[in-house]
Structures are given as structure tokens and as C-alpha cells.
């Protein structure tokens, strides 16, 4: 094949690849990235074989460049896949907050107490007691 044919095929492959990838929904992105990572692993093995059997310095340089780029592509694919999987995982609850307490309230504060309230506050306040009666009740 001559250079113009190879350039035409490359340009068409770039356009088709861009159109196909841009139409993929986020739900399908992670499984497709896992498959692409497997293919990139095969490409990396091929690049290592080519670089290992190089007899000319120019071929060795191109083979080593292919190994570096394939490695970067493979690692980047795993990083992107890990980030996408993080999006689908549930958020971890705050360890300091207790179930039923208001966000920002002190650990051990009663449910429904004001954020930042002392532990035990709000138990009698909801029933109309003053702070003195609450302290006397303890």
C-alpha cells in the first residue's frame, strides 16, 4: 500500500472511532473499557516482542516507543475504569455520625437536635423543658 492509502485509512479510522466512542452511554463504558484493557495488554505484549527482536536501531527505537505508549495506554485505561466503578459504588457514611442524627450534629446527640448541639441535648427541649429541668433530670 502506498502512503496516501495508509493515511486515508488512518483518517477514516479516527473519524469512525470518534463517532462510535462518543455514542457509548456511561452504563456501557465500564464493560467496554475492561475489554479494551485486555486488547491493550495484547498490544503491549506485541510491542515487547517487536522491540526484543529488533535488529536495526531505528526499529528498536520505534519498538521501545510502542512499549512506552502501550504501557501508558494500559495503565490509563485501568485508572479510568477504576474511577467509573467508583461512581457506581454507594457513598460511605460518615463514621462520626450516628444513624438518625442530623448532619453536622455532635456524635451521641439525640435525633432531631440542632447541628452542633451537645450530646443529650434536644431530648427534653422537644417536650418544652428548659435547660435547667433537663440537667436536673439527669
pLDDT of residue 21: 80
pLDDT of residue 27: 73
Phi first, then psi, for residue 72 (nearest 5°) are -60, -40
pLDDT of residue 22: 82
The kind and range of the H/E element at 9 are helix 3-22
How big, in percent rounded to 5, are the helix, strand and coil portions of the chain?
A: 65, 0, 35
pLDDT of residue 106: 54
Q: What is the mean pLDDT of each run of 10 residues along the chain (138 residues)?
A: 87 90 77 80 90 91 92 87 78 62 55 53 50 54
Distance CA 76, CA 81 (A): 9
Amino acid at each position: 500500500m502506498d502512503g496516501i492509502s495508509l493515511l486515508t485509512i488512518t483518517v477514516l479510522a479516527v473519524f469512525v472511532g470518534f463517532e462510535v466512542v462518543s455514542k457509548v452511554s456511561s452504563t456501557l463504558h465500564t464493560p467496554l473499557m475492561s475489554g479494551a484493557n485486555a486488547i491493550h495488554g495484547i498490544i503491549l505484549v506485541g510491542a515487547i516482542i517487536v522491540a526484543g527482536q529488533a535488529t536495526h536501531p531505528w526499529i528498536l527505537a520505534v519498538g521501545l516507543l510502542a512499549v512506552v505508549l502501550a504501557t501508558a495506554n494500559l495503565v490509563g485505561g485501568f485508572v479510568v475504569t477504576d474511577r467509573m466503578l467508583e461512581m457506581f459504588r454507594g457513598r460511605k457514611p460518615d463514621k462520626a455520625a450516628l444513624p438518625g442524627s442530623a448532619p453536622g450534629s455532635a456524635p451521641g446527640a439525640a435525633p432531631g437536635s440542632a447541628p452542633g448541639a451537645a450530646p443529650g441535648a434536644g431530648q427534653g427541649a422537644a417536650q418544652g423543658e428548659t435547660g435547667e429541668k433537663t440537667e436536673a433530670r439527669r
